[in-house]
Structure 1
Amino acid sequence: MKNLTSMLDIQKADTSKIDQVDFNNLVFGQVFTDHMFECDYKNGSWQTPVIKPYGNLSMPPSARVFHYGQAVFEGMKAYKDQDDQIWLFRPEENFNRINKSSERLAIPEFPKEYFFEGLETLLKMDSAWIQKGFGNSLYIRPFVMATEAGVSASPAGEYKFMIICSPAQAYYSGEVRVKFSEKFSRAADGGVGYAKAAGNYGAQFYPTNLAKEEGFQQIVWTDASTHEYLEEAGTMNVFFRIGDKLVTAPTSDRILDGVTRKSVITLAEDHHIDVEVRRVSVQEILDAAKSGELKEMFGSGTATVINPILGFGFKGEKYELPKIEDSYAKFFKDTLMKIQYNEAEDKFGWRHQVK
């Protein structure tokens, strides 16, 4: 890979904020490290990347991101092992996906060498923010948005690519019960569901709030055409264990190609767990729950890794799942995290060391 360190404009913070942070009581995504990565696109090309102190941006109110929603993002994590080595987990997947998302929103592709050189330099500069210990990590948020001034309905000619980082503890969202959506959909055929477009997430908040009023924490979205097939759980991909078989919906232009999701599928196959990637109907899960064949449901994603789902609701009925000691959810979470923290063999080559 071409080394661009000499091309990075590095502006170090005068002092660090790290001694003001209580790492034992972090609220996810609310504390940010000393530095951030920034690169502007104008005149048809990406400019010199900059790493500078974390701080506010100055943008015109007519910046197109505010009017036409040209914004996509990614979620990644950095981990520190007991020898103070820094690791990323399948970062090329995130890089490829942010460019895939950008393409769908007519945003220019970001150069691979800029992304990795900028990200790794940023992580080394703020390495003290990556706390050791199983469950501790640094959440990484790359994103790109349209910054050109103007309110005409057309793609922007200027953009800003950024990376900001936030220290995180083991993510625990409490007991999670979900509602199967009867009316609302996350995405439709031909839409932007497969992209990590900012608007996808903003559109989820209202129906999720309605579900919370009924005592649920998340929604499992159903297909836009018939509402007969289950697709994603909130901001996570979702898995169902029917008997000893693991089932999950296929990716499509409606469903995000989750990095954790594809890792779970690979691990399942490697450990001879029967896994099927196919459409999953609401009726199939209702029948499995009533017969006792539905053993588990869990979501997968970067922030949570694996999030067990304890029950679900549909059309006014509520269903509880059994509590299983040797659950698939626990197995996948433990296995993935040991790989991420360099505590287990990485036979798939998923770890990426920041040197």
Structure 2
Amino acid sequence: MEEEQVIRTDLCSSGKEKPQADQLEFGRIFTDHMFLMDFTDDKGWHDPRIVPYEPLSIDPSAMVFHYGQSVFEGMKAYRTPDEDAQLFRPQRNFKRMNHSNSRLCIPPIDEAFALKALKQLIGLEKDWIPEAEGTSLYIRPFIISTEPYLGVSPSSHYKFIIILSPVGAYYKEGINPVKIAVEHEYVRTVKGGTGEAKTGGNYAASLKAQELAEDGIAQVLWLDGVDRKYIEEVGSMNVFFKIDGKVVTPALNGSILEGVTRNSVIQLLKYWNVPVEERRLSLEEVVTAHKDGKLEEAFGAGTAAVISPISQLVRGDKHLEINQGKTGTIAKRLYDTLTGIQYGKIQDPFDWIEKVEDVQQETLKASS
């Protein structure tokens, strides 16, 4: 966009009843409004608007249904003790969305304008941010290809949409270590594929392994798609191992998604002078470290859970228990610090927080 456009607003006539904290499930309930913007080759991105949340009307031949040209992001808005609303590093999410756009041949969005639109939407829907401990407002920006055409080529029409969903605490009884199964048959993606982009096809391809995992297994540990021996991700999260005093995470290699939480964890560890390495890490190195008593902790890192400690690695009939199945000190410190910053309970030394101003509905009606 060469010049910033005005965000048109169309408010719903009556709001939905807001759920109680104990009724919240992830991604089941949505707020009263959503943001939309359209793209066509002749106009570029245009007609930004906030409208009532409702079903989309899309042609059955829209290319997203047939060739999967889509990207999405995930982040949260948090309510502080002072009743303010704030975001955690949203600029990085929109920057990553443009990285995904490039890989999927989707035209880039204006990141600053997208953040402005998000703030306006959240400012309008602030009352939807739940107040109970550990709850938040999940944010799902996404782009889909909408051109009605069955030819295999990049679409010329797109929709950029942001929807909001109040969500409960990921850990209802405190941070909880989980069992992880090492996946040997299926792969998530390979270098040169779409692994470093946040696109729906990556997640569809991961479902089979999770479906086949035995009871009690929370997620699967993905190995690389070529040698089948180097660790990449755990479920839909980045993964970290503390080995002999050093925290090690797989280096970004073209098939691993660059997580915002991953980046934040690395920055915090360096800030605390905890040794941290980004490098290629084999499963056998982890198994050997466990055998030698040097595998001290393991945990996943992502938006939904923030930090998810790993209690066991299940490899066939072998169960590698980590830290006696308990949450490690580094994982707990990271979780407490990240959530403390996100909810405005502790100081933010990195300037990660983005405040959201209240939006009065009367002001929006005047600008509609």
Q: TM-score, normalised by structure 2?
A: 0.92
Q: Which amino acid aligns with 1:116?
A: L
1:156 is aligned to: 155
2-structure distance, mates of 1:182, 1:113: 42
Deviation at 1:18, TM superposition (A): 3.2
Q: What is the letter of the counterpart of residue 343 of structure 1?
A: K
Report the equivalent of 1:219. Answer: 220
Structure 1 match to 2:274: 273
Say which SS state the counterpart of residue 311 (structure 1) adopts.
Answer: strand
Matched, 1:248 2:249: yes
1:332 match: 334
1:7 match: 6
Partner residue in 1 for 2:200 = 198
The alignment of Structure 1 onto Structure 2 pairs a total of residues equal to 351
SS in 2 for 1:155: coil
Letter in 1 for 2:51: K
Say yes or no: does 1:43 pair with 2:41: yes
Question: 1:133: how far off?
Answer: 4.5
Partner of 1:110: 109
Aligned counterpart, 2:288: 287
Map 1:1-355; keep pairs closer than 5 Å.
7-19=6-18, 21-44=19-42, 45-172=44-171, 176-211=178-213, 213=214, 215-321=216-322, 322-324=324-326, 327-355=329-357
Q: 1:200 to 1:78 in 2, by over 3 A?
A: same
Structure 1 residues 296-319: Cα deviation after superposition (integer angstroms, max 9, x where no partner): 111000011001111011233121
Contact 1:81 1:133 in 2 (8 A): no
Tell me, yes or no, if the aligned pair for 2:177 and 2:327 is still in contact at 8 Å: no
Q: Report the CA distance shift for 1:232/1:128 in structure 2 as closer, same or farther (over 3 A).
A: same
Q: Which amino acid aligns with 1:32?
A: F
State how far apart, in whole Å, the 1-side matches of 2:328 and 2:306 are.
17
Q: Deviations over 1:178-201 (max 9, x none)?
A: 111222211111111000011000
Partner SS state of residue 203, structure 1: helix
Check whether the contact 1:181–1:227 (CA below 8 A) recurs between aligned residues: no
Structure 2 unmatched ranges of 5 or more: 358-368
Post-superposition CA distance 1:318-354 (Å, at most 9, x none): 2112245662111100000111111111111111111
Supply the RMSD in Å over aligned alpha carbons. 1.7
Residue 25 (structure 1) shift? 2.4
Distance across 1 between alignment mates of 2:210 and 2:79 = 34
Question: Aligned with 1:48: secondary structure?
Answer: strand
Residue 216 of structure 1 aligns with an amino acid whose one-letter code is I
TM-superposed CA distance for 1:13, in Å, is 1.0
Amino acid in structure 1 at the alignment position of 2:67: Y
Q: Unmatched 5+ residue regions in structure 1?
A: none
Once residues 278 and 78 of structure 1 are traced to their aligned partners in structure 2, the CA distance between those partners, rounded to angstroms, is 32
CA contact (8 A) 1:18 1:129 kept: no
Which stretch shifts more, 311-320 or 194-203? Answer: 311-320
**Paired residues of 1:239 and 1:247 also in contact (CA < 8 A):** yes
Q: Deviations over 1:189-235 (max 9, x none)?
A: 11110000110001000011112x36422111101111111110000
1:136 shift after superposition = 1.6
Decide whether the 8 Å contact of 1:49 with 1:114 is kept in 2: no
Paired residues of 2:230 and 2:281 also in contact (CA < 8 A): yes
Report the identity percentage.
42
Shift of 1:243: 2.9
- CA–CA distance in structure 1, aligned partners of residues 299 and 328 of structure 2: 14
2: distance between equivalents of 1:127 and 1:92?
Answer: 20
SS at structure 2 position matched to 1:32: coil
Distance in 2 of aligned mates of 1:95 and 1:18: 30
Matched residues in 2 for 1:116 and 1:258: separation?
Answer: 18
Q: Report the Cα offset of residue 292 of structure 1.
A: 2.2
> In the alignment, residue 329 of structure 1 is paired with which amino acid?
A
Encode CA deviations 1:230-269: one digit per residue, 9 max, x unaligned.
1100000001111322110011210000000010011111
In 2, distance between residues paired with 1:274 and 1:22? 43
Is the Cα–Cα contact under 8 Å of residues 184 and 207 in structure 1 kept in the other structure?
A: yes
Residues 290-299 or 258-267, more deviating: 290-299
Tell me the amino acid that sits aligned with residue 199 of structure 2: A
Amino acid aligned to 1:330: K
Separation in 2 of the partners of 1:101 and 1:163? 16
Q: Aligned equivalents of 1:299 and 1:308: distance in 2?
A: 6
**Cα drift, residue 112 of structure 1:** 2.3
Q: How far apart in 2 are the matches of 1:86 and 1:239?
A: 30
How many angstroms apart in 2 are the aligned matches of 1:113 and 1:268?
A: 29
Alpha-carbon contact 2:310-2:325 (below 8 Å) kept: no
